[in-house]
Structure 1
């Protein structure tokens, strides 16, 4: 198969199609919601989406099979090599009817559906190709159900194991296909299966109630709250279908805003950055900020406000103001006065965990470098020689400190799924 193209997920040289598809979905959703604010940057956003979708089309070209990963992740993670030099095995991990992978397949279906809307006006033929492939891939994902954790285990785990199950991706894909096609089949599918995502758990964190579960999760692994926000757009115009989507979307908002008396799904650093458990925390700040901005737009269009309890009324403007606080923190309005976007501001991470940024370029060092020849540069105390302009790293610790070190992967590694939701957020605040 021709599998040229696509994106590496972060600082390595592996193509993990699960987070890559989510990245493509979020770039597409960013353009659909905020493309009118992108101005001269819009063509570059479309180019970035198409680089992903061209590859995803290749990954789904063979009927009843979907490529899940390209590159042996275990071999890759032992070598600190430039992409141009990599000589680790480029093993392809493929899910099939016999060895299914519904989460990666359905996320690709969502990406293809969302992107088909992006190109509907500018390239109708390409848009139709994306939509037709999305329909085929979704059918494959649904008909042959199973997790790619089991089917391509060493290719997926422990790097991008699916922890939330695959039903959220199937619902996510169906919701996007309904948004594009308005075909009753997909809406009926969402209604018939949404009950699978209704689990919510409240536990104690830092002495207070902390909400976990479907209603509050959104990212490359969990699409739960994204489904509720997406569906709320048309549910707000039809009161017969508001439940459970709008109440669950409201519950997400009330679980985030500090003034809400509802149990929280996030904590906050002293400087005001939201946190969820796990590494690479800025993925939560950017993805949840995106959802809140989108929901604010839907609320405003429907003249909607929400009551989080104790007469705490939340307006669309409040969601926008909260999100702006997260954006300002990421870009430098924080206790360290550190921008977590490389190349933005006067002070930003200098030693990010990213091979192409750390090792001298082909221009400076044209000779081939073997597997461990890059280790010298990784261990260097010097700043990275190549600026990865615009990359947002994992971000600070929960006490607002930041260790600018390649060894601190959760803080210093940039990822596509941190950046992708931030594209739409920044476009909104551009005007």
Structure 2
């Protein structure tokens, strides 16, 4: 570089210019700061200065040692080689901002690699952060960070799919997208399926409930998945659970396996699912054992799945539909609730699942007998919520969609009258509809999904869409926790839970041991449970990210189902130009 001549009077300016050039040189050759390391991995942090306005960015990290994969709490990491990674985001950044984040790296041995960090397309790079947290850094991002309330619902949708993939049981496929998960419980009487929550039992009632809502989201908002670039990933994700249902239903034996594993024994184990060696007993419905709640709910999931798969794979859709038909007939002969899994997921009745099963079979076949059955099962009372134990409002909505009869419409309207402000649901200061302390986000997310479905049916579309999007916005950052812009979906944005109540995510890489000590171990969980929606805040918006707090920090299949469906619905609204104007109380 040629430096122009200066007079002695300008020497102060020369010194300043030299200092500026020196700072830029340092920035271009910055290193990360290793905060923690162990056999097989490390935790590091960096802050990258933004020197020009950016509408989306890509950070490039080049390591001096091999790193097998990277997990970052901002953006989407892409592996170029074992020594080069990029992390991209669609968020907007102003000149003078910093993009600060922690990340995990995984490799062989107790490695402490140094990485140079730059932002593609701008001069200047990153310098190591001097502290141990992200406090003071508030870059705008599409996951609820920054000004303007921008949200990337498609990104949130893709991350939710990753959560379900992290819950997989059985022998994992070659395209497994969760590198810290491996084969587990391959000797189960019914292999495959999804682990229920932070534990490893496969419970039929929440499993079928989640699968039904997720299937409904494909049927109703397929274009949302397409727009987000997630349709193939969604089909792949759902086939894992559909295959499990097909194995669990033994039509020739007239048995439906509804639980794999012992809840009490499982909850006494804290470790990797890959390392489980305990007995995993099977429980089934059949013979003299009733269980139409799970059988009817599973028939609903399979029938809805047959519709979702009809255009993609007609032969597979036929297999699901035949299974749903025979299972529904079986359920009619085994009325009553399954009690063999008590006290876990004890159902209050089976009529709602039977109604759901009948309606999805009607939608799949157009056979009037199913519609007649559904009208006999439906309860026109106002539902408390939508969840694994109560599908009342879902059945009411499905019946209204088909019949357009006012009695079903009034029931759905009554549900949202209770849920909207002025009803009997409490609201937090920042506007979250707060139904109950334990896993509050799950009930609100399910109701948001139901509101978007009701809008598609012509039930108060403007009001329902606005409310639903505002609730999802709360989850993705429109709240005041941790200074605001906090996402209750793990891995989304720059601030989110780091310590979910989840065994696998809390375990360090093998061969390091994982025991109950991990439940209260200091520091962040070694793995990011991408896409999981945690239980949620208290009614004053307060929330503590503590691994042992299963009330607020549990994750589960049924927590994410309606949330993911709502995300697909919102992307659909964006695609068709019907996105409502929102007015969140604590905008990010």
The two structures have a TM-score, normalised by structure 1, of: 0.85
Q: Distance in 1 between matches of 2:442 and 2:551?
A: 11
2:284 aligned counterpart, secondary structure: strand
CA distance in 1, matches of 2:500, 2:524: 9
Task: Specify which structure has the higher proportion of helix.
Answer: 1
- 1:295 maps to 454
Inter-partner Cα distance in structure 2 for 1:320 and 1:387: 31
1:275-286 mapped onto 2 (5 Å cutoff): 275-286=434-445
Q: For residue 233 of structure 2, what is the aligned residue in structure 1?
A: 44
- Partner in structure 1 of residue 461 of structure 2: 316
C-alpha displacement of 1:265 = 4.1
Does residue 86 in structure 1 map to residue 270 in structure 2?
no
**Structure 2 residue aligned with 1:246:** 409
Aligned match of 2:563 in 405, 422, 428? 422
- Residues 400-430 of structure 1 show CA distances to partners (whole Å, capped at 9, x for unaligned) of 0001111210110111111122222112323
Bigger Cα displacement from structure 2, 219-228 vs 415-424: 415-424
Partner residue in 2 for 1:202: none
Give the match for residue 348 of structure 1. 496
Do structure 1's residue 146 and structure 2's residue 336 form an aligned pair?
Answer: yes
Asked if the contact 1:33–1:424 (Cα under 8 Å) also holds between the matched residues in 2, the reply is: no
SS at match of 1:68: strand
Q: Give the 3 Å change call, closer, same or farther, for CA 198–318 of structure 1 in structure 2.
A: closer
Hey, what does 1:385 align to over in structure 2?
A: 526
Counterpart residue number, 1:211:
none
Listed as ranges, the matches of 1:23-62 within 5 Å are 23-39=210-226, 40-62=229-251
Partners of 1:132 and 1:280 lie apart in 2 by: 35
Give, in whole Å, the separation in 2 of the partners of 1:133 and 1:410. 36
- Which deviates more from structure 2 when the two are superposed, residues 70-79 or residues 246-255? 246-255
User: Partner residue of 1:3?
Assistant: 190
Matched ranges for 1:135-174 at <5 A: 135-149=325-339, 152=340, 156-162=341-347, 164-174=348-358
- Indicate yes or no: 2:404 matched with 1:228: no
Shift of 1:181: 1.0
What is the rounded CA distance, in whole Å, between the counterparts of 1:25 and 1:292 in structure 2? 16
For the 8 Å contact 1:72–1:91, the answer to whether it is kept is: yes
The answer to whether the 8 Å contact 1:13/1:83 transfers is: yes
How far apart, CA to CA, are the structure 2 residues paired with 1:231 and 1:179? 10
Tell me, which stretches of 5 or more residues in structure 2 are unaligned?
1-187, 575-588
Distance 1:86 1:120, change over 3 A: same
Q: Does 1:114 align with 2:304?
A: yes
- What displacement does 1:345 show? 1.1
Counterparts of 1:123-142 in structure 2, within 5 Å, are: 123-142=313-332
Residue deviations 1:325-378 (CA, integer Å, cap 9, x gap)? 1011001110112210001111111111001110113xxx236x5xxx511221
Number of equivalent positions? 379
TM-score normalized by the length of structure 2:
0.63
**Residue in 1 aligned with 2:554?**
413
Q: Which residue of 1 aligns with 2:419?
A: 256
Q: Would you say the 8 A contact 1:394–1:414 is kept in 2?
A: yes
Deviation at 1:66, TM superposition (A): 0.7
Q: Residue 542 of structure 2 corresponds to which residue in structure 1?
A: 401
- Separation in structure 2 between the aligned mates of residue 376 and residue 286 of structure 1, nearest angstrom: 32
How far apart in 1 are the matches of 2:472 and 2:424? Answer: 19
| CA displacement at 1:170 relative to structure 2 | 0.8
1:193 and 2:193 matched: no
Q: Distance in 2 between matches of 1:276 and 1:5?
A: 33
Measured in 2, the distance between the counterparts of 1:277 and 1:350 equals 23
Asked if 1 retains the 8 angstrom alpha-carbon contact of 2:189 and 2:260, the reply is no
Checking the alignment, whether the CA contact within 8 Å between 1:292 and 1:320 is kept in structure 2 is: yes
SS in 2 for 1:94: strand
CA distance in 2: counterparts of 1:47 and 1:339, whole angstroms: 26
For residues 144 and 252 of structure 1, the distance between their equivalents in structure 2, rounded to whole angstroms, comes to: 30
1:15 maps onto 2:156 in alignment? no
8 Å contact 1:27–1:45 — kept in the other structure?
no
- CA drift at 1:278: 4.9
Residue equivalent to 2:478: 333
The structure with the larger Rg is 2
The aligned residue for residue 210 of structure 1 is: none
Query: Which residue does 1:205 correspond to in 2?
Result: none
- Gapped regions of structure 1 (runs ≥ 5): 200-213, 237-241, 305-314
Q: Which residue of 1 aligns with 2:174?
A: none
C-alpha separation between the residues in 1 aligned to 2:424 and 2:193? Answer: 33
Aligned Cα root-mean-square deviation (Å): 1.5
Is the CA contact (8 Å cut-off) linking 2:354 and 2:377 kept in structure 1? no
Contact 1:359 1:378 in 2 (8 A): no
- What does the per-residue CA deviation read over 1:255-280, in whole Å, with 9 as the maximum and x for residues that have no partner? 2221x5xxx24211111111213511
CA shift, 1:243, in A, is: 4.2
Question: In the alignment, what sits opposite 1:77?
Answer: 267
Higher strand residue share: 2
Kindly state the Cα deviation for residue 393 of structure 1 after the two structures are TM-superposed. 0.5
